A and B are shown apart, each in its own frame.
Chain A
């Protein structure tokens, strides 16, 4: 096994008990939800909903995944005793960083899909047997699933950066920071709009409302620019932002090891 494989193996081995408990809890939750739904369907004579798995999947993908990502560096990088072993592992900082990043960004969603699918494989026949519900296995090959995974890729990178940036309370501090950044960007955006439209239409925002009563034909020339802006925004959101967060997180790992380590 090469060094990177050994690091991946180390990450899995050190957290396999916690992840096994997590997987078992997830299975129980899915089973209980399905059973409750079967009861409700049977006694309320309402239609059977096949969206339980698809409905619960994003919660576990985002909440579970982002919390796990937030904790990825807590022990190895910010625990005074724990970091010694991590620092002394014969591997480069990049390999150590990537091992954690790859596991939380790619392996976790795949493992979660596998657990959801297996849970549905076990749960559905039981529901069929006891309640006569139709078998609806978890289907990961949907458009909604693809967009959720794409969103997870973006949000994961932000929480990965948070996990390397904050020494304690990584998850909550990242959420709070996002809130603060969101408010700040909102205020800046409002100021920008107010300034731009004031220059063009006068100092009152009432004139700004008027533009919406214009005929849509007036916006025809702007459609091309809007389309380009949309593509640009998507590239920025799904490619540039995650890459920026990954690169910054790596440099943060290097910085912590050089300054705060031990």
Chain B
């Protein structure tokens, strides 16, 4: 078993160092019973980024994350996570992944006891870092876990995950249940814990909470990844503008939305106009990609 793990780790380093990819999914098919969710899904994730995973309700974001962790098994296709096949659920792989689900039960014990119980599983766990995160999140380690609110529990697990120093952190709706100051604190903490060897995948509906944090973006739609690129790749090609009248049908716009004071339109960037235009927010970008995937072909990887 030791040899197996060793060879797995060696393989992991080779895969990551040669291509910079920590995750590779090819032709993934997955279904819940007869309900086909993914068909020929492809995904590449490079290390050292904070990926945002976006998609409509039921698009399969959580399922995709569980496939990456080895909690669910695909019906077909090839998956490599940190050089391991997640189906094997090898301890060497699990020790390099921290997964924070949207809902989770915690045992009836003090936070300090929980830390003592679980930290040993992660060889690079940094206790000093954990204490710092707990101070940042205003957490009391002597408090019982069953007396904590959902937000406090989530902050505790976030602090734990960040301090575990795993190569891959998968966070499913991490800002759900967090109060407004905590959301800001969350962004700051994640940004401070980011290193070039770590990769974050954050699945969220609260795109405004993640503005300026997540980039690149992965957008799941109709059982496939329809967008996997940086926000800049869109802003380089398109420009957002506020116009007072609705664009004509003949006018070439990628997206339009009625807003206060007129229409927000996204159109191809004119070289002459240069950097003019409104900043493109993630919510609009998501709507553009989902409603008009064809015009984003250049952005789809």
Residues of A within 8 A of B (CB): 1, 3, 6, 9-10, 13-14, 17, 75, 79, 81-82, 84-85, 87-93, 257-258, 261-262
Q: Which residues of B contact A90 (CB under 8 A)?
A: 91-92, 94-95, 121-122
B127 in the interface (beta carbon within 8 A): no
Task: Give the shortest distance, in Å, between B158 (CB) and chain A (any CB).
Answer: 15
Further contacts, 11 of them, CB under 8 A, given A13-B113, A90-B94, A90-B121 = A6-B121, A13-B107, A85-B104, A87-B70, A87-B71, A88-B97, A90-B122, A92-B91, A257-B89, A258-B73, A261-B71
B251 in the interface (beta carbon within 8 A): no
Chain B: CB-nearest residue to A3: B91
B117 in the interface (beta carbon within 8 A): yes
B258 in the interface (beta carbon within 8 A): no
Q: Which residues of B contact A79 (CB under 8 A)?
A: 105
In the bound assembly, the distance between CA atoms of A84 and B70 in angstroms comes to 10
B294 in the interface (beta carbon within 8 A): no
Chain A: CB-nearest residue to B103: A81
Task: Give the shortest distance, in Å, between A17 (CB) and chain B (any CB).
Answer: 6
Task: Give the shortest distance, in Å, between B73 (CB) and chain A (any CB).
Answer: 6
User: For A13, A88, A91, A262, which residue has the most chain B Cβ atoms within 10 angstroms?
Assistant: A88
Are the CB atoms of B71 and A88 closer together than 8 Å?
yes
B295 in the interface (beta carbon within 8 A): no
Are the CB atoms of A84 and B117 closer together than 8 Å?
no
Chain B: CB-nearest residue to A87: B71
In the bound assembly, the distance between CA atoms of A248 and B32 in angstroms comes to 26
Cross-chain contact of B89 among A6, A10, A13, A93 (Cβ < 8 A): A93
B72 in the interface (beta carbon within 8 A): yes
B293 in the interface (beta carbon within 8 A): no
Are the CB atoms of B108 and A17 closer together than 8 Å?
yes
Are the CB atoms of A82 and B105 closer together than 8 Å?
yes
Are the CB atoms of A13 and B120 closer together than 8 Å?
no
B69 in the interface (beta carbon within 8 A): yes
Are the CB atoms of B66 and A262 closer together than 8 Å?
yes
User: For B1, B87, B120, which residue has the most chain A Cβ atoms within 10 angstroms?
Assistant: B120
Q: Which residues of B contact A261 (CB under 8 A)?
A: 71-72
Would you list 12 pairs from A and B whose C-beta atoms are within 8 A, ordered by A residue?
A9-B117, A14-B107, A79-B105, A81-B103, A81-B104, A84-B71, A87-B89, A88-B97, A88-B99, A90-B94, A257-B89, A261-B71
Task: Give the shortest distance, in Å, between B3 (CB) and chain A (any CB).
Answer: 14
Within 8 A of A (CB), among B63-105: 66, 69-73, 87, 89-92, 94-95, 97-99, 101, 103-105
Are the CB atoms of A89 and B94 closer together than 8 Å?
yes
B184 in the interface (beta carbon within 8 A): no
Are the CB atoms of A88 and B69 closer together than 8 Å?
yes
Chain A: CB-nearest residue to B96: A90
Q: Which residues of A contact B103 (CB under 8 A)?
A: 81
Task: Give the shortest distance, in Å, between B147 (CB) and chain A (any CB).
Answer: 14
Q: Which residues of A contact B108 (CB under 8 A)?
A: 17
Are the CB atoms of A6 and B71 closer together than 8 Å?
no
Task: Give the shortest distance, in Å, between B115 (CB) and chain A (any CB).
Answer: 11
Q: Which residues of A contact B118 (CB under 8 A)?
A: 10
Closest 5 CB pairs between A and B? A90-B95, A90-B94, A14-B107, A90-B91, A13-B117
Within 8 A of A (CB), among B95-154: 95, 97-99, 101, 103-105, 107-109, 113, 117-118, 120-122
Chain B: CB-nearest residue to A82: B105
Q: Which residues of A contact B87 (CB under 8 A)?
A: 258
Chain A: CB-nearest residue to B93: A90
Are the CB atoms of A91 and B121 closer together than 8 Å?
yes
Task: Give the shortest distance, in Å, between B225 (CB) and chain A (any CB).
Answer: 21
